[in-house]
Structure 1
Amino acid sequence: MAGDEGRARANELVLDYPRVGDTCYLGTFEQDVNPENGAEPLKWQVLAVEEGRALLITEQVIDSVQYHPDSLRLTWEDCELREYMNGEFYQETFTDDEKIRILFSEIENPDNVRYGTEGGDNTRDYVFALSYNELKSYFKGETFFTYPTDYAIDQAVMVGYETKYAWWWLRSPGFSQDMVAVCATRDADASLIEYGQGVDMLEVGTYVTNRRMGLRPALWIETADAE
């Protein structure tokens, strides 16, 4: 019991005074494909710390989802993934006390850096997918690769043949308005890569209806030094 209390206090300290690279727990989500034992604590990585706030992203890819169920030309503002992340996911994953920490943040949606595909209007979100620019800014080298949870594997998330790293959605547009950038390995089934091997999937992306891309949520929390 004392050990549990100590871990809880240590976790609160990380949430209050985070440093880049720290890990912490916030919320719960099914991860072990055993719903009878309840949802598991959700582990997050600290990507950035600014005055009064910190950016967190889940340590693993936690689900396999579509960006949007219909093949439409759209942006992050209008996609169903955004609606899910700020609706059902936000409401069911976090307690009321945890929600107090999570900031309703302005999210920039820049155009595709290579192809100029429109990113759309800025949005305000509690939970979001990273943009291409954020991925490149906050991760060093290819440290953005990560493994899926057992639940994400059970949901048929795309993984590399050799690396077993999961593919996951960004929110930035891809080659065209019905495609979205993804964080992808280079050792997957070429038949599932619309533009073949050897291209930068971060920029080209995949179609919004792809069911095998992973969910890796990000959010900003308020820290203890917030005014």
Structure 2
Amino acid sequence: MENKENIESMESISKDDAEEEKEQGYQKLISMMKSLECMTVTPSRAEIYLSTANKFSELEGYKDSEEYIRLCRQMAEQTNNELIKKIYDRAKAKKDRAKSTDDYKLAAEEFRKASGYQDADAMALECDKFSSRIERKGVSNLFLTAGGIILGILAIIFLFASPVAKYGIGNVLYKADSYNYALKFYNRTGDYKDSKQKIIKCQYMVGLDSEARGDYKAAKKAFTAAGDYKDSDVRKVKALKLVLKNSKIGSIVKVGKYNWKVLEIEENKVLLLKKAALSKRAYSSASNNVTWETSTLRQYLNKDFLEGYFSAEEQQNILQTNVKNSANAAYGTDGGKDTLDYLFLLSIDEAQKYKSVFEGYKGTSWLRTPGGNPNSAAFIAQKGLIMDYGYTVTSDEFKAIPAMWFNID
């Protein structure tokens, strides 16, 4: 009887020891989880999470071990995703800064480390293309700059050769990736064969080369000249966004068919004001109780002007803006309802905010704020003087200076 009691007592102690051992192991793993939360995102962190999950499995369902197993595996996956994102972001930064063949090769290597993530594979291929193009460009430049004799011969051909010869030289230069030189010859061939198509192709390739060098102004210009060839419009707007991002307040940038002045730069958009006023036109064809919402000038800007002076891709990036139409502060004239516009005129308050833009301005241009009565609109006079009493909206003696917010994200 006594032996039986001793055996049961020993078994009880053994179970208690096992439970205590499990509890100690459990607490150590919990501490490990807390430590991992403070750990920098590295491959080791993901490995430790997986190792911790395996150790929780050894506890065989002790307490909420199963839940921690799932959590550890989830955190390991999240860590790996964060690592891939870091690699991708690093690769993208290298690509944006790349100038040389080696720079693009390094960027391509980084993108391949993030293979499968977003457009990493496509970006790697694009970097390869840029790298290859720069290499070929270097060879062709070496050929072209090997000596003054070659350039002299080309100059003589350029001046005196027939369109047939110029076209042939243009083809040779095109195949040598010397697109700027090729352009000079194609431009001198008139309508010979497919010279006009060759010019467009050259402009596109010049755009790609400029893009690869990080010269986005030149890229934008070349892609604009390439018209609707391939993805020229998309690449032009991409270059335009980078130009705008790097612009300063007051910079002049061509968007669509006109030059625009940068008034304000925010994180993902810029406020642009047309550099030169549009031709004289009435604020509204109607003369009774007119507001910006009902004006024919607003309709013109957001329909005919928008569709007629910007490419499809540019239109996609002109942001629809919630335009506040406040009353005339001096006369109390109601400004009407707020509007959603792609293009708009500045208000009195906005004209005052950006008054430095109008220093030296000659002429008179409408503002969207009403004047002293519902049949008038305020305007800017010479040297930026704001006339808040306004003038009759049907007058066609005033110009208009549209503004817009453009996406640079």
Counterpart of 2:375 (choices 167, 178, 186) is 178
Aligned partner of 1:175: which letter?
G
Partner of 1:125: 341
Shift of 1:173: 0.4
1:18 equivalent to 2:247? Answer yes
Deviation at 1:181, TM superposition (A): 0.4
Number of the residue aligned with 1:213: 398
1:167 corresponds to: 364
Q: How far apart, in 2, do the equivalents of 1:206 and 1:14 lie?
A: 38
Report which of the two has the higher share of strand: 1
In 2, the alpha carbon distance for the partners of 1:146 and 1:125 equals 28
The CA distance in 2 between the partners of 1:85 and 1:107, in whole Å, is 14
- Does the 8 A contact of 1:112 with 1:172 survive in 2? yes
The separation in 2 between residues aligned to 1:47 and 1:26, in whole angstroms, is 14
Cα displacement (A) at 1:16: 3.7
Q: Give the letter for the 1:49 counterpart.
A: I
Partner of 1:105: 321
Shift in Å, 1:207:
0.6
Q: Secondary structure at the match of 2:333?
A: coil
2:255 partner letter: L
| Match of residue 57 from structure 1 | 273
Q: How does 1:114-153 map to 2 (within 5 A)?
A: 114-140=330-356, 143-145=357-359
Partners of 1:111 and 1:181 lie apart in 2 by 11
Matches within 5 A, 1:22-61: 22-28=251-257, 42-61=258-277
Looking at structure 2, the residues matched to 100 and 18 of structure 1 have their Cα atoms a distance apart, in angstroms, of 21
**Residues 48, 138 of structure 1: 8 Å contact kept:** no
The Cα of 1:184 is off from its aligned counterpart by 0.8
Shift of 1:201: 5.1
When residues 52 and 93 of structure 1 are mapped into structure 2, their CA distance, relative to the original with a 3 A threshold, is same
Matching of residue 76 in structure 1 with residue 292 in structure 2 = yes
Q: Relative to 1, partners in 2 of residues 1:139 and 1:14: Cα closer, same or farther, differing over 3 Å?
A: farther
Instruction: Give the distance between the partners of 2:312 and 2:337, measured in 1 at CA.
Output: 29
In the aligned structure 1, how far is the partner of 2:260 from the partner of 2:219? 16
SS at match of 1:220: strand
Query: SS of the counterpart of 1:204?
Result: strand
Distance 2:256 2:360 in 1: 20
| Deviation per residue, 1:122-172 (Å, 9 max, x gap) | 1000001110111111233xx41566xxxxxxxxxxxxxxxxx12111100
Distance 2:359 2:295 in 1: 24
Q: Higher Cα Rg: structure 1 or 2?
A: 2
Alpha-carbon distance in structure 2 between the residues aligned to 1:119 and 1:44: 27
Check if 1:9 corresponds to 2:206: no
- Indicate the SS of the match to 1:136: helix
SS in 1 for 2:306: helix
Match of 2:303 in 1: 87
Cα displacement string for residues 41-95 of structure 1 (whole angstroms, at most 9, x for unaligned residues): x000001112311110011112111111122111101111101100111010100
Give a deviation string over 1:97-131, Cα, whole Å, max 9, x none: 11122001101111101111111111000001110
Letter in 1 for 2:322: E
Is 1:202 matched up with 2:387? yes
TM-score under structure 1 length normalisation: 0.72
Aligned-residue identity in percent = 32
Give the Å deviation of 1:14.
Answer: 2.4
Distance 1:8 1:167, change over 3 A: farther
Aligned-partner SS, 2:369: strand
Report if the CA contact (8 A) 1:167-1:185 is conserved.
yes
**Which fold has the larger relative contact order, with Cα–Cα distance below 8 Å and residues 6 or more apart in sequence?**
1
Alpha-carbon RMSD: 2.2
Contact 2:292 2:336 in 1 (8 A): yes
- What is the distance in 1 between the residues matched to 2:355 and 2:219? 28
Structure 1 partner of 2:31 = none
Deviation at 1:202, TM superposition (A): 2.1
Q: Identify, as 1 or 2, the structure richer in helix.
A: 2
Give the 3 Å change call, closer, same or farther, for CA 24–171 of structure 1 in structure 2: same
User: Residue 111 of structure 2 aligns with which residue?
Assistant: none
